[in-house]
Structure formats: C-alpha cells, structure tokens
Amino acid sequence: MARIFITGSTDGLGLAAARTLLAEGHEVVIHARSKERAIAVGGFSALTAGLVIGDLSSAEDTRSIAGQINALGRMDAIIHNAGVYLGSDRGSTPEGHARTLAVNILAPYILTALVGQPDRLVYLSSGMHLSGGGPLDDIDWTKRHWNASQAYSESKLYVATLAAAVARHWPKVLSNAVDPGWVPTKMGGAGAPDDLEMGHQTQTWLAVSEDQAARVSGRYWHHRQPRMPSPEVLDTGFQDQLMDRLAELTGVRLF
C-alpha cells in the first residue's frame, strides 16, 4: 500500500485518479482549491487519508499546501495533476504572475522544492507541449500580447522539462511526465475524443505499480507508452536555464 498526494483532485482526471487508487487499496491525500471545493466532494474526502486546501495560483497558498502535506507525513508518490487551460486573458495572481504559468508550472515547481522527497513524482503535461517553444525571458507574458493557447503549450513544455530535470538531479526519485490525451473533462470539454479511463491510468500506474516498465525515470508517457518529447525537454542546457528562471520567479531554488 502506498500513500499518494494528488493536486487538483476534486474533479476531472485528479478525482478519477484518486478513486482508482483508493479502490486499489492505497492511501490518497486529496487537494481542493478552496473550502467550497472541499465541501463539493462531500463524503468522498472521508474515505481519503487527508485533505489539503489552497489555491495553486497563489504562491503563499502553495507554500501552505506544502506545509500541510509535510505535516501529514511523507508521501510515497505525488501526482501533479492540477492545471488551467485557455484563460481569456493573462490574469494576475497575488504575486502578479500569469495565472496559467502560476498554476501549471510555478506551483508544481514550488511543491517539488518544499515537500519532502517522495519515491515517485508524476507531472501532467500535454501533447500541446510540442508547440511550446518560447522566450524564457518572457515566460510570464509581461512583454508579449497574450495568446492563451501558446501560454498553455509553453507551460506544459516547462512541466515536462521539470520532470526531466528532477529525474537527472534526483536519481533516487522516479520522475516522469504524462500526456493524458484530450479527454472529456471539464477542462477538455464534452466533445474531447480521447478515452477518459486511459486519461488517468498512466499516472496512477506510474505512481504505484511495481511493474518494471513503470519503475523508470525521465520518460514522457501517453497511455502507458513512452513517447519522444520535444527536444527541449531532454536538453540539459534548457533544463538548467528553465530552473534558473523558475527560481528567479518564485524565490525558491530546487537544485
């Protein structure tokens, strides 16, 4: 039995992953953006090993989430599932960052740095990361005209790169990125063509399976099959530049 923490686990793929892992007999710690979201899952939270609350668009809240997790004890695995998609404008977090950047990459970066190291880390990326090339000096979209699709693609390139960098720097931790596909969740929309079941099974498999195929690190996955990510993801120079930029934006150094 493993203990797993999942961000954004009150709906969509995060909730599906939590339910699957609970059904398999694992302990699951879930995360809600707010007390209202926690209430919405009602009795489900009573089945879990814990509930943490905080808005990942806020660095202060994200640090609080890290403290709440650490207070619950060490996790065997963490699935960085939470994400936002196609904001109509840049938005502004309490720290002044673009909301897409804050939720999709700054939050998992901060949590990775501040939460005690688990045995396994799983980061949700997207096939859209392949279109995510952009200037690292403007990852926060303070200079460019806002493009929601491009901002999302870039954030998913960065989170896949984070997974690869963690795999390189922390050899004792299995760190992988997952493309869950375009699935019919609230984010993906009812018309999304991919399979909802397959959309969460790769991350749960990577989080707990003892199959040799799952006990690897530094890979990019889609439906339990390794895929080749964008060249930037595996470029150690790009990894280092991105980690430096994220450290600058968050005030937290990971490596």
Out of 37-46, 111-120, 126-135, which region has the weakest mean confidence (pLDDT)?
37-46
HSE value, Cβ hemisphere, 13 Å, CA-based, for 201: 8
Please give the pLDDT value at position 153.
Answer: 97
pLDDT of residue 50: 93
Q: Are residues 163 and 229 in contact, defined by beta-carbon separation less than 8 angstroms? A: no
For residue 236, what is the domain's CATH number?
A: 3.40.50.720
Among 85, 109, 123, 156, the active-site one is: 156
Mean pLDDT of the chain: 93
Instruction: Report the alpha-carbon distance of residue 183 to residue 23 in Å, rounded.
Output: 22
> Does the active-site annotation cover 186?
no
User: How many domains does the chain contain in total?
Assistant: 1
Q: Is 220 an active-site residue? A: no
- For residue 188, the model assigns a pLDDT of 47
> Smallest Cα–Cα separation from 27: which of 6, 10, 45, 49?
49
pLDDT grade for 167, boundaries at 50, 70 and 90? very high
The candidate with the shortest Cα–Cα distance to 100, out of 113, 119, 109, 87, is 87
pTM exceeds cut of 0.85: yes
The tokens for 244 are: 């430096």
Q: Is residue 255 part of a domain?
A: no
Tell me the Cα Rg of the chain: 17
Strands 220-222 and 77-80, bridge-based pairing = unpaired
59 domain residue, yes or no:
yes
Of all residues in the chain, what percent carry a pLDDT higher than 90?
85
Q: What is the residue range of 198's domain? A: 3-250
The pLDDT tens digits for 88-127 are: 899 999 999 999 999 999 999 999 999 999 999 999 999 9
